[in-house]
Structure 1
Amino acid sequence: MKVAVIGATGFVGKNLVNELANRGHEVLAIARNADKVAEQSQVNAVSVDVNDQEALAKVLAGTDVVVSAFNPGWTNPNIYADFIKGAEAIQAGVKAAGVPRLIVIGGAGSLYMEGSQLVDGPGFPAEIKPGATAARDYLNTLKEEEELNWTFFSPAIEMHPGITIGRTGKYRLGLENPVFDENGKCVLSVEDLAIVIADEVESNKHPRQRFTAAY
């Protein structure tokens, strides 16, 4: 398959590019600065501003599926508005390119526990709340999408650079609620997140759904 990965130099994106390329897929790695994409066979790196819908659509034409790992930066003071703007531009660019499938990697904040979303809880970390709220609100927008075969992925609650478990190839799936292990932890390494998304690319198991995964 020909798979486009938006945000290819980010924490999630670079791992996903590697996983897809190692599986033999043709990967179009899209980033603000394509020079930062590691050179490897199966990977073609392109610099595109995701907010330029016309340029993005031109680059995406001919791909089978687009995976968006777009994130304007957790320390960006305007992250809420920039995330919504970028995510909606990507959605429009994918449609304009005629690509049938879009997989969006969002956040865990929109997952439900005891009837409410994590991002609305009193203990939710204030420093990531604007970005998490943006991802939650964009999921609601995506649910109204009627043309694309979309999928939204919410990572585990604990999925960050401090997770050093590595690539195990093991995970369990969920839909609207976090997946906890026997110790009450909701954890996933970024390497295994890449496996989850690559598996979804190949299987199309969650069309027009949000899903999640953890150990």
Structure 2
Amino acid sequence: MAKLVIFGATGYAGGKIGAEALRRGHEVVGVARNAGAVPEGVDERQGSLHDEAFVADLAKDADVFVVATPARAIDGKKLVDAVPSLVRIAREHGVRLSFVGGASSLLVAEGGPRLFDTPEFPAEYKEEAGSHAEVLDLLREQPEDLDWFYVSPAAEFGAWVPGERTGQFRLGGDILLTDENGRSFIGGDDYAIAYVDEIEQPKHRRARFTVAY
């Protein structure tokens, strides 16, 4: 079994991934900025992924880092600002680095554009979308000895569209997946299943993949 350290363990995606990992018998350390809200069974730690010493200590006996935090600036720091130190620590300790990404950096069709570059993409979400894309771009520049993966959900994903656990979904690469009606959707539980599947049986090393119905 693996030991997962989940940054953003109290959020929607982080909580779903933690619950799925526990269900399968993995050990889960949940990191949150505010203590007291992680699911039962999670080893709670209060701290920030921007605290390099704190992150390095967590890496000593971890197998996988799961980064499930917002990408936009919070208290003046963006997620991408933490990537260089996360990379150094992951390489030093042999930790697999993974990210809950956004759907908006997916291409709407072969050759583009990206979803957040389309005219109809809501302006109020562009900061978060662009910040997630920055993380992915930086990961793709890292040395070959860094083991990482990045999972973009479908366009509709979150607590407002929780869906039901089915265990049935499709995996894709850099192109947005839609169903026969043009809808791009994934429930939280099924997203978590795909995420933990990748931890248990790696098939997307140093790559982004997407999950949708």
Q: Same fold (TM over 0.5)?
A: yes
How far the C-alpha of 1:60 sits from its partner, in A, is 2.1
* Structure holding more helix per residue: 1
Say yes or no: does 1:86 pair with 2:85. no
1:45, 1:99 → 2: CA distance?
A: 22
How many residues get paired?
Answer: 209
Alignment of 1:135 onto 2:132: yes
Query: What is the 5 A alignment of 1:143-182?
Result: 143-146=140-143, 147-182=145-180
1:15–1:106 CA distance, 2 compared to 1 (3 A): same
Change (3 A) 1:34 1:89: farther
Secondary structure, aligned partner of 1:24: coil
Answering whether residue 115 of structure 2 is matched by residue 118 of structure 1, we say yes
What code does the residue aligned with 1:91 have?
A: V
Q: State the one-letter code of the partner of 1:162.
A: W
**d(CA) in 1 for partners of 2:123 and 2:75?**
13
In the TM superposition, residue 73 of structure 1 has moved relative to its aligned partner by: 6.6
Give 5+ residue unaligned stretches, structure 1: none
Unaligned runs of 5+ residues in structure 2 are none
User: Runs in 1 of length 4+ with deviation above 6 angstroms?
Assistant: none
**1:13 and 1:153 mapped to 2: Cα distance?**
12
SS at match of 1:163: coil
What is the distance in 2 between the residues matched to 1:119 and 1:110? 6
**Alignment partner of 2:129: what SS?**
helix
2:169 is matched by which residue type in structure 1? Answer: Y
Superposition CA RMSD, Å? 1.9
Identity rate, percent: 36
1:67 maps to what in 2? 66
Distance apart, 1:65 and its partner CA: 1.2
Letter in 1 for 2:67: S
Rounded Cα–Cα distance in structure 1 between residues aligned with 2:211 and 2:130: 20
TM-score by length of 2: 0.91
